[in-house]
Structure 1
Amino acid sequence: MTGRIAVGLDGSAESLAAAHWAAREALLHGVPLDLVHSEEWSSSRDISPVTSAEMRSQWAASLLRDTADELRERHPGLDVATRSLDERPAASLAAVAASADMLVLGSRGLGTLAGFVLGSVGMAVIHMTERPVVLVRAGEDAGAHAQGSHRHREVLVGVDTDTPCDALLAFAFEEASRRSCTLRAVHSWTLPPLAGYGAAYDPRVHAQLDLSARAALDDVLKPWRAAYPTVDVAAHTAVGRAAGQLLESGSEAGLIVVGRRIRRSSLGAHIGPVTHAVLHHAKAPVAVIAHA
């Protein structure tokens, strides 16, 4: 841990919500907050490069200053620093993330649906860093009661009992411990093809498989419960697609924790289908944890 939380700021409602979320998170961690604006200013085609750079530099400085002042006023005692970088946003934000405990970014809602549009910068940053990245949508900042909801709404994590991920569980348990909230661990499983449909369906088989799934989940969670004895853990198993279960269970969560595999090759997808679906459709902030 490096002892800082960073947030990318571009002036959008989503990035401002991310800044407020990150401020509350920094207070929970007891660490400073870095507000970072990153944009390559030398490529404007509307006005001369010099004028464009000067105007945008002034705008960025004002954005950073005003946001920092607002956060300090709302959260007395919060240590806030600001940085403006004249570089490509994805690369510079990934570099910032490398020296932070986590990077927080805003993400647009899907029109009338409550969810995310993960833009090219956000997707690229997730690919380029192995640090935790949290995506926050504009509606997450709920004004006066936001501090309480940030602290007490449950943390949700999806658990694959066949290949459990220590990095994912460590992050989820640590977040739940800091917030003094419930950690809901969700494991999804499927019925065998010949036992799940029509006349072949046997409720006794269903019950036995569910019992086995619960036992496997309890086995995975046992050492973590011992390491975090004050965390209230709610273990949940259900038949169905993992993404659907996480989205349903996380509709009122304070944070959903999902993972992505670190791939050294430039070929192939870097974000699996479950994480991809959760990123685009979750109502709650989503933390993406890179793991081997």
Structure 2
Amino acid sequence: MRTTHDELLDAEDAMVFDDQPLDTAALTHTICWRVAVWSRLHTLKNSYNMILKLFIAFSFLISASYGQISVVDFCVADYSVANGPAGYSCKNASKVITDDFIFTGLGVKGNTSNFFKVAVNGAFDLTLPGLNGLGLSLFRLDIDVGGVVPIHTHRVSEVIIVMEGTIIAGFIGSDNTAYFKTLNKGDVMVFPQSLLHFQVNVGNIPALAFVSLNSPNPGFQFISASLFANNLPSSIVEKITLIDKDQVKKLKSIFGGTN
């Protein structure tokens, strides 16, 4: 089937190569027209090649993402094998029981008789083997009046929902901007992955909250404990924190650090 493009080319050929005297203006027009057509076709070819390359690249990405989909229903943690970067190995399916998927510890208040007046009790891969490989965990957070969850971080993101009481919760961005707000019953806040965050009970009753993290083993690093519960020499701690010697020794005595 002939296209409009073919017909236009024939028309130009007829106009130039007829037996009539050479029309310079027509010839110039034809040359310009052909250059424009060639340029357009060249552009379309480049665009087609680019689209083809993008299509191939996205095809590989989609294939890779599908490769991450589990081919088993679950992978209950096998505690007889050491934990690795990808989690625990899978327990033999013939030995899996219903209780591997159940945790009953979130209905009871934790022991808050400590320095921070806080208790954290959670369902994660060590307490709920069925969470292994599923990318989530759940914790109960009890904070007595005046209590605080000191500034800390995880490897993953966190969502908190307040069930009782009033707390101030917040996190600090990598540009040192602080994002914090008073949360009441029913309020939800998210703490992005790896950023320092905290919670403080500012109400007149004990606070209760539940937090969920997108890992069965999210990891916890409390900054205060990291600085003052270790064996790093006090002289070094003084230099890296700008805290005087007496305060460093006091904090080390509180958190159990040495040297």
> How would you bin the TM-score normalised by the shorter chain?
under 0.3
Structure 2 length normalisation: TM-score? 0.24
Which gives a bigger RCO, structure 1 or 2 (Cα 8 Å, sep 6+)?
A: 1
> Greater helix share, 1 or 2?
1
